[in-house]
Structure 1
Amino acid sequence: MKLAVVTDSTAFLSEDALKNPNLFVIPIPVILDGKLYNEGIDIEADQYYDLLKNSQEFPTTSQPALGEALMLYEEIGKKGYDTIISIHLSSGISGFVANLNSIKDSVSGVNIIPYDSKITSMPMGNMVETILKMNAKGCTLEEMLDQLDQIRENTNAYMIVEDLNNLVRGGRLTNGAALVAGLLKIKPVLTFDDGKIMLFEKIRSSKKAFARAEDVIGQRMREINQPVKLYVIHANSLAVAQEEKQKLQEKYPNATVEIGHFGPVIGTHLGEKAIGLAISLEY
């Protein structure tokens, strides 16, 4: 088996992973003031948030064209790969991974496996990097897919956002949740539930919201009872992320804690200054 791993630009990946010759990344477009930017190619997170502050229109995101994905799969096949694991942004946020199933049998001689991460950013990057490591070790396809399922089942994320309007306008959270948040002046903690962004708990202040998310991460660690990685993910709020990393490291000294950022696509939905705390299996 010669395996290629395909993912999309919402995955937060290490520099080593990005240099892996078996990895291929599909950019997801962001549209800002009528101009289309391909995440990770035309625009990076730092540039994006500067543009966002001065934008005249609410930004939107779009799915990559299926034709472009098919062309990539065909190119991968021509390079001698016979198997592709294609790991993508949660189907609860985008229909892209579901649509890939319609072309998975289109490349002769290549077994294409679209995989719904049901998450994004650093936890999704963890899935991608795990498969790259397992491939280097010569693991079987069955072992890799089983490990992906285990990671997915033991991944949780909790997000504290400054403003729910982005999620509501983008259709990623119900208006009802936003209305309640506005009326009660709460700081909601959001989570991924079967791949969809949902209200987890309504908290009265940012400080209490962060404390609650930290505690829930600890509960999940005890439930998983396996080696895990903890992630602090920020939308142009590095100082807060560094503070949260320190808190998590002090509370859970045996865990690996890493910082990353939400790119333009997820930043569009969560809004600037959003912070995510996540837990995932460590391979």
Structure 2
Amino acid sequence: MASVPRTVAVIGGGRMGAGIAQSFATAGSAVVVVESGQEAAAAALERIGASLARAGERGHLDEPAATVARRVAAVARAEDLPAGVELVVEAVPEDAGLKARLLAEAEAAVGDTAVLATNTSSLSVTDLAAVLRRPERFLGMHFFNPVPASELVEIVVAPGTAPDTVASALAWTEALGKQDVVVRDSPGFASSRLGLALGLEAIRMVEEGVAEPGAIDDAMRLGYKHPMGPLRLTDLVGLDVRLAIAEYLHATLGERFAPPRLLREKVARGELGRKSGQGFHTW
């Protein structure tokens, strides 16, 4: 049976980073979350603790939530990571420059045998690898929201990724109780590319008055057995996140990924989905 890393670092303690940290801590890893400053680090720990408490109340933990929470610590800088970290997962916003800088800082702090991974949903893993001294120890581990409940991790392999790095990522995914899909590095990978194509077309249908968001979602949920419709999923992911991915895929793959006007307008109004209370649905 595969086992999780003894120590995992997660760069970024937002919704995705907190979920990744919770998943590894629940599976038995010691986890260190890197956030930008002491206040943000404390907030990340509070976020993870609250999520673990809810999981415990729902019977989703095999041990008390407080026991799992004690496996999670936080630091204010990547330079403060312990040298014994086996896996670093970067989970900051989709800004290539920010990701590259933090990955390079983390690589300098941890040992040469550590695996580094990015949780990017669309950016080039190959380009991020170019800033690292050991690109063979780097790959994409794309988790899905909400991470503790999601079954999937998309493993993204760059040309320079070593086979043993991929093998470690696959073993850790199995140890988390999740399923893997392995894809070659390309814009949007498999999941974001296909998911975004459906989501953008659904937005265009709303824009053109074809149907209301609820009807479009019900058509895919009831007719095609999707667990949720593309517009509700867009709300869950965040309209701003979807827009950023669409802009990147538009630039790299062409006009079929051009963001609809309605998506831009909603983001400009602050209608970002569940996190703001309003997107294509009211939350």
TM-score (normalised: structure 2): 0.38
Which structure has more strand as a fraction of its residues?
1
Which structure has more helix as a fraction of its residues?
2
